[in-house]
Amino acid sequence: MQIKKWNGAVLIIAFLFCSIFGVLAWGQMQMKEANPKWTEDFRVSESDKKEMVHLINKIAEKYSLSKESVNGPSQLENREVYFFHYKLDDEIVMTLHDLKSGGNRLTLYFYGLYRVDGDVFEKDIKEALSLDDK
């Protein structure tokens, strides 16, 4: 009977450790989504903005990222702004804020792509948007 009690205690302790580590891992994922690796704000002409969005979409397509509109247009400082998530499965890799009317502004929030070619992806984005020479 003594051995069964020990086995039960070990199982309970193992379950508690797994639960604690699961909660910590989930918290890290939430922090990643809340804190981008880097952010870039672009103030560009309408034609340059279209070209930049096209480049971002092309690179995202190369890495099999899906693009989804988040809740349609919203209001920011009384101007329309569109939010787009670029995802790999359920992982948000980057978010693009497209501010319309009264300021041709794009803001890119880069969270990172956590797989083998993630660094290559980040380099592609930076080169395409000429961020390396800043």
- Mean of the per-residue pLDDT values for the chain? 75
Q: What is the pLDDT of residues 80-124, one digit of tens each?
A: 778 889 988 888 888 888 876 656 788 888 888 776 577 777 888
Amino acid sitting at position 126: K
The token pair that represents 82 in the structure block: 């569109």
Q: What is the pLDDT of residues 29-45, one digit of tens each?
A: 554 556 888 888 888 88
- Highest mean pLDDT: which of 11-20, 68-77, 107-116? 107-116
Q: Tell me the whole-structure pTM to 2 decimals.
A: 0.62
Higher pLDDT, 68 or 102: 68
Q: Where does residue 109 rank: exposed (0-12), middle (13-18), buried (19+ CB within 10 A)?
A: buried
Closest CA to 114 of 131, 132, 92: 92
* Domain 37-128 in this protein, CATH class: alpha beta
φ/ψ of 78, rounded to 5, equals 60, 25
The token pair that represents 94 in the structure block: 């980057």
Q: What is the pLDDT of residue 134?
A: 45
The token pair that represents 87 in the structure block: 């995802």
Residues 46/104, Cβ–Cβ less than 8 Å: yes
